[in-house]
Structures are given as C-alpha cells and as structure tokens.
Chains A and B, each alone.
Chain A
Amino acid sequence: MRKNKRRTALYIPGHNPAMVQQGGVYGADTVLLDLEDSVALSEKDAARILVRNMIKSIDFYNTEVTVRINHINTPFGLTDLEYIVPVKPEAIRLPKIETKSDVITVIEIIEKIEKKHGIPIGNIKIHPMIETAIGVQNVFEIASAHPRIDAITIGGQDLTADMGIVKTKDNAGLDYARKAIVMAAKANRIDALDSVFADVNDDDGLRIETEYAKKIGFTGKAVINPRQIDIIHDVFNPTDEEIRVAIKIVKAFNENTAKGIGVFALDGRMIDAPVVTRAQHILNLADIDIDDL
C-alpha cells in the first residue's frame, strides 16, 4: 500500500504528450494532469483524449494520479468527466468551488458515470479548489460536503484576482484564506494543499514560502516545474531527530496498547492519541513502517 503522501502535486498541461508521459519520473508525490487553465480552448478536446489514453497506458510509478477538470458550468466540464472517470484516476481536482452544492453536483454526475461503467462507487477522491472569496467563506461546508473529499486546495492566483488585490511575495492578502482553508481541512481530518509558487528561478523564495505553508499547517504544495520538487520535499520531510522521536512514540504506543493502556508518559511527556497520530504521519512521510523495524 502506498503511504499517503502529498507533499508535492506537479501540474502537467494535459495537451503536452511529452510531459504527461514523463509525469511519473520527476518524483513528485502527485501528478496533476491539467485540462483547465493551462490548456487553450482550441486544445481542450485533444488534451482530454491524451490524458485519458495516458492514464490507461502509462506507468506513473506509484505517483498519485489526479486530474484537474474544467468547471462544470463551462462547455467542457461534463465531457471531461465522461472521459476521465472511466479510467479511474485516484482523485479529481475541481476548480473554483464556491458552495457545498457545487461539489455535490459534480459528485452526483461522477456517481452516475461510475454506475454506467460498472466502476465501484466512491473510490475516486475529490479535491475542491478554493479560488474565490465566496469559496473561502464556505470552505468548512465544502470540506465536509462528502466522504470522497480527502484534500482541499487553494488557488492563489485566481483568489487574489477575485479579491481585487495584488499578489505580493509575502502573500499577506491570502493569509486569512490560507489559514481558513487549513483549518477546514484539519477540522475534517483531510489534507490541505498550498498554491503554486510562480517564480521557478527563485529557490530561496520557494523555500521560505514552503516553510511558512508547513508552519501554518499545509501538508503539501502544488508545483509548476519539476525543479521545485526537491526543495518542497526537503521542507516537508521530517528531520532525523523528528523521525527518531516518532519511532519511539509509536513503538511505545503499540506496546502500551497491547497492555490495554491508552495514555502513558514517555521521556516525561504525556502521550495521547493526537501525539501518536502526528508521530505516525512523520513515519509515513519518512517511508518507515514500524512493523519492519
């Protein structure tokens, strides 16, 4: 079973065969095959066909495969779903979600398509994107709209435009939105994914922004260029010290659970369920299975 890691989601324009084909080799945790903004109107059909065929035939080497479709109120959304759902990507990303009913509408369509093709219902996860002020205001409702939703993401560029502000390096204008989105994700125990960092030549800027994203609770970040992957992984990866402590905690927890003890002390620190969950998450990120140790 693959460990649930989503430190990076690499955007790949859906009409670019070379990039789609290479999607799995860059080492991102998720490939994000895009049918929406990176694809020109005239290329929509070609992109849809290419992405469908590639998902069917290409090995993405354990990378999670996500497709961003066009919004359901555009001419392309429904056709995207009719093409993409049957090839069962692990998740579908939905742009510009503003209300709970926006998500439910799409999920209902997906279920109809699943039934039509005899696909098990509910396996394809849904990742709503919050890209407008209204979406931010409704984010908790959106995040908890349906069990399929296991991550929620922010679309920084569109959100600044919708708010009528200029995007600054420190992202001051987006701070409230980012924290609101993280909080909604945490409240629903799902992932919170940060927006892209647009300047692919500014490694220091990328690192600073990613460190901040991690600090406020994001679990991963979208990427527009493979060069950005290593820096983001580096930030999200646990340190040796964190791993050491986590192993200790999980081991102690397993031993105590076997004895029927729920809460216990370790190195003078009270250990309860949330601490264990966090420790387990660190081990996941480090690809460590406690049973192998």
Chain B
Amino acid sequence: MNDNDEIIKRILLAKEKRSLIKERIKNDGYASLSFSLNIPGYPKITKDISVFFNIVLSQFKIFLSANLIEITQEHYETDESGIFFLSSLKSSGSSIQNIKQLCETFEETHELGRLIDIDVTDSNGNYISSGRNKLCIFCKSFPAVECMRSERHNYSKLRKYIFEKIQNYLLIQRKEKVCNNLVSFAARAIFYEISLTPKPGLVDIDNSGIHKDMDYHTFIDSSSAIILYFYKIAEKGFSFNKSLSFALASIRETGLIMEKEMFRVTNGINTQKGIIFLMGVAVFASAKLIADKGSFDLEKFSDMTMNIGKNILNEFDAKSLDETHGKICVEKYGKHIGGGARQEVASGFNTAIKFGLPMLSDYELEKINSSGKQKVLFNALLLLIGNNNDTNVIYRSSLEVLEKLKSLALKTFNSLTEDDKKNNYKIIETYCLENNISPGGSADLLAIVVFLYFVKKTYSHEC
C-alpha cells in the first residue's frame, strides 16, 4: 500500500468515526449540527487552519446564542479529515428548517463563508437541505460540489489561494484584537491617572488643585472625546510600513483631530494635550512592534520611539510650532533641560520606563483593590515627579522651584513610615498651591507607565 492509499484509508476511518457520533446523537433522539471547513487536498490541518477554525467556530456559537438556538453535548475532534465540531440541538423555538436557514445565512454573510460547511441533521438522522448550492470559492462560477467532484481546479493552486485568504483573514482579526486591546489599555491608563487622588496641585476627584478652569469631570469629558481615536492610531501603527521618520506626522494627523475634539468638549480648555501626544506615540509604537515582532519588548519599544522622535527636538526651531509648555521652557532655558513631552519621546520614554514602571512591576494590578492601586500609583507618581524636569512646572515658575519640588517628592517617596509620608505629602501639596504649580507632565508619564504595564503584561510572550 503506498502513502496515498494510507492517507485515504485514515481519512475514511476518521469520517467513519464522525458518523458514529452522529448516529449516537440520533439514537438519543436529538437533531444535530456539525461544523467543519472545506479544505481541498492534504494535510487538512495546519496551524493557520486550526486558529481560523477556532475563531469562526466561536463566532458561530455566538451567532447561535444570539438566535436563541441552544446546543449541548459538544464534540470537538481533530483527525485526518480535518477539525470537526459536532453538537446536538436542544429543542428550540425555531423549526429545524429554520435553523438550517439561519446556518446558511451565517455561511453567506461570513467573508470566508464558502470555506465553512455547516450541516443540520434532524432527529431521524436525515440531512436537512435547503436545495441551494454554494458557489466554488475559487472560480465563483460553478457550484462548489461540482468543481470538487470533477476536480476542475488544480489542487495545489486551490490550496495556495485558500491559505492566502485564511492568512489575510487572520491578520485582520489579529489587528482588530491588538487595536482593541491597546485602546482599552490607553483608556484604563488615562482614567487611572485622572482618578488618582490625591495629586499635588493637579485635578483629582476631590479638588482641582491650582486649576480654576477645570475639574474632574472636565477630564472625564475630554478623555471620552479622544479615547476612540487611539484605535485609529493603533491601526496606523499596526500597518505602518514606511520609514519611521514619517511616523510622527502620521500620528499627529490624528492627534490634531483629537486636540480639536478636546477643545470642543471642554470649551477651549487644554486638559490633555500632553497625553494625546505621548499616548499617541506609545500606542502607535506598541502596535507596530506587536505587528512586526509578534510580541512587545520594552527595549525595542524604547528604541522605536527614539527613532520616531529622532528629529523632534529640532522642531523647537520651527516657526509654525504652536506654543507648548515644553517649547516655552526650551526658549527660556535651552534644550538641555529635558522634560517636556517631546524630550520624553526623544529619550525613548526614559523617565517613564526607568522610574515609573518598576514601581508597578512588583504588583498584579488587576488583583488589588482600588485603595491598593491608589497606593502603588501614588508612589509611582512621586518618583516620577522626583525625576522629571516637568515643563508644566518650569513654565509656571523657575528651575529652582522645580528642583525643590523634585526633592520634596523624593523625600516623600522615601518616607519610612506612612505617617511621615502623609506629613511630607502635605508639604508638597502646600508648596504646589503656594507656587501655583502642578506637575502635569509627570501625571502624563504616570498614564504612560500604566499603559506600558498592561501592554507588557499582555504581549511580552506572544508569538
């Protein structure tokens, strides 16, 4: 017996096994529903095929639930003739004919529906047919069954065509999932930061610090207005295939729309210009990294953002640049003072990664309650304030005031007891109010730190 005969024998055995299961369900008096893929040729299973199968099967199950069709006794088999799902149908409001029609609708509306094969069998074991024939996925001119039986198309061409379709489909699925995740992490990060209370001189839940023109809800409003745009930025990052020197303009295109939205909902108040920019770059770079490398790595992230920000510091010389706190400080003190959103990007998010992120790394943030989270984030914020040349502070005061604030923050961070910490914190709070300063740049970095924490946790080991 040659290899081919051996394969055919094994496929037949597998089909036999499937019939037996169907038989069993029939004997129990149930109708059944089977779900499989039409993959011509051999092998019937590859890594892509099994991933694709699982995605579509879970979509199908959701579709059944949505249509109030209940299934039980699920069998999931992988064998020589491919992956195969079979379940019995609990009686439902729909007639068996109706269920068959719904399944056909699922096949017809799915973009790769021609690869999907859903069979419905009634409780006597008879196939339910709708009398319609699916067209061949390849030539789209003849019924698929005809092309298959007459072997009209070359198998290897056919397989190549199908595998490409599956691959593209998986890529789009993955892209959507990654972009969804990144937006939800960005949202989480921004809301965590806004909600952290207390924050010295800054807007928190309890008070507005030194800011007379905004409060907690102003931030909720502007965050809600900008958040979905990060999906666009993530998509751009995921599919970006030009030189990184063009990335910044691409991020900015969306960023400028976000700023407009922010100003619209806050009636012209700048709540989040800094975070729009920083988070924009972070989301873009994370998406690109996950798309290119299949996983997230801090060092690569840092390098990539450095490359994105390669010429960013020269922008300060541009006439057209709008006035940011960073720009005003650079004009006053020179580029070497660091700080500011642009410098943070140019340094590959050095302050966030070096000082903020390690504070969170020891914790399972998802598993600790609100007050626990606040404690961790509060410490991270103190450390960021202590190490960041925050241009929000400098532009309202001076380098001396900034240095004093930094040392107060470090002193508070390094308090040995909770009581010391409370007392030291009061000093910072008073100092911010007296000098009319608020470390908004450090608060932005805290949001970046939270974002990176979740991205790293989720995508460190993906392949």
A: residues with CB less than 8 A from B are 41-42, 44-45, 72-78, 82, 101, 105, 109, 112-113, 116
Q: Would A41 and B355 be within 8 Å (CB), given that A73-B383, A105-B411 are in contact?
A: no
In the complex, what residues of A have CB within 8 A of residue B359's CB?
A: 75
CB neighbours (8 Å) of A44 from chain B are: 358
- In chain B, positions 398-426 with a C-beta closer than 8 Å to chain A are 407, 410-411, 413-414, 416
Question: 10 closest Cβ contacts across the A-B interface?
Answer: A75-B358, A78-B414, A75-B359, A73-B410, A112-B416, A73-B386, A73-B387, A41-B358, A72-B414, A75-B383
Task: Pick from B386, B411, B416 the residue with the most CB of A within 10 Å.
Answer: B416
- Whether a CB of chain A sits under 8 angstroms from the CB of B111 is no
Most buried by A among B361, B362, B410: B410
Q: Roughly how many angstroms separate A87 CA and B267 CA in the complex, as a whole number? A: 59
A45-B362, A75-B383 known; 19 other A-B pairs, CB under 8 Å? A41-B361, A44-B358, A72-B410, A72-B414, A73-B383, A73-B410, A74-B354, A74-B355, A74-B358, A75-B358, A77-B414, A78-B414, A101-B407, A105-B410, A105-B411, A109-B414, A109-B416, A112-B416, A113-B416
Considering only residues 372-387 of chain B, those with a C-beta below 8 Å from chain A are 383, 386-387
21 A-B pairs within 8 Å (CB atoms) are namely A41-B358, A41-B361, A44-B358, A45-B362, A72-B410, A73-B386, A73-B387, A74-B355, A74-B358, A74-B383, A75-B358, A75-B359, A78-B413, A78-B414, A82-B416, A101-B407, A105-B410, A105-B414, A109-B416, A113-B416, A116-B416
Query: B residues touching A (Cβ–Cβ < 8 Å)?
Result: 354-355, 358-359, 361-362, 383, 386-387, 407, 410-411, 413-414, 416
Which A residue's beta carbon lies closest to that of B356? A75
Residue of B nearest to A106 (CB): B414
Please give, as numbers and ranges, the residues of chain B lying within 8 Å of A109 by CB-CB distance: 414, 416
A41, A42, A44 pick with most chain B CB within 10 angstroms: A41
Query: In whole angstroms, how far apart are the Cα atoms of A72 and B359 in the complex?
Result: 13
CA distance A53 to B132 in the complex (A): 77
Complex interface: chain A residues within 8 A of B362 (CB) = 45
Q: Which residues of B contact A116 (CB under 8 A)?
A: 416
In the bound assembly, the distance between CA atoms of A75 and B387 in angstroms comes to 11
Q: Residue of A at shortest CB range from B416?
A: A112
User: In the bound complex, how far is the Cα of B354 from the Cα of A82, in angstroms?
Assistant: 21
Instruction: Say yes or no: A73 contacts B355, CB within 8 Å.
Output: yes
Residues of A with C-beta under 8 A to B411: 105
Q: Which residues of A contact B355 (CB under 8 A)?
A: 73-75
Q: Contacts of B354 on A, CB cut-off 8 Å? A: 74
Query: For residue B416, which residues in chain A have a CB less than 8 angstroms away from its CB?
Result: 78, 82, 109, 112-113, 116
Q: Separation in Å of the A69 CB from the closest CB of chain B? A: 12
Inter-chain CA distance A82–B417, complex, in Å, is 12
A74 surroundings in chain B (CB, below 8 A): 354-355, 358, 383
Distance (whole angstroms) from the CB of A110 to the closest CB of chain B: 11
Bound complex: CA A42 to CA B362 (Å): 9
The answer to whether B414 touches A76 (Cβ under 8 A) is no
A113, B415: Cα distance in complex, Å: 11
Q: Report chain A residues within 8 Å CB of B383.
A: 73-75
Q: Please give the distance in Å from B46's CB to the nearest CB on chain A.
A: 36
- Considering the complex, give the chain A residue whose CB is closest to the CB of B411: A105
The chain A residue sitting closest to B413, CB to CB, is: A78
**What residue in chain A is nearest B354 (Cβ atoms)?**
A74
Closest Cβ of chain B to A48, distance in Å, is: 12
- Find chain B residues with CB under 8 A from A101 CB: 407
Within 8 Å CB of B361, what residues of A?
41-42
Q: Which residues of A contact B413 (CB under 8 A)?
A: 78
List the B side residues contacting A105 at CB < 8 Å.
407, 410-411, 414
Partner of B358, one of A73, A76, A112: A76
Cβ of B281 to closest chain A Cβ, rounded Å:
23
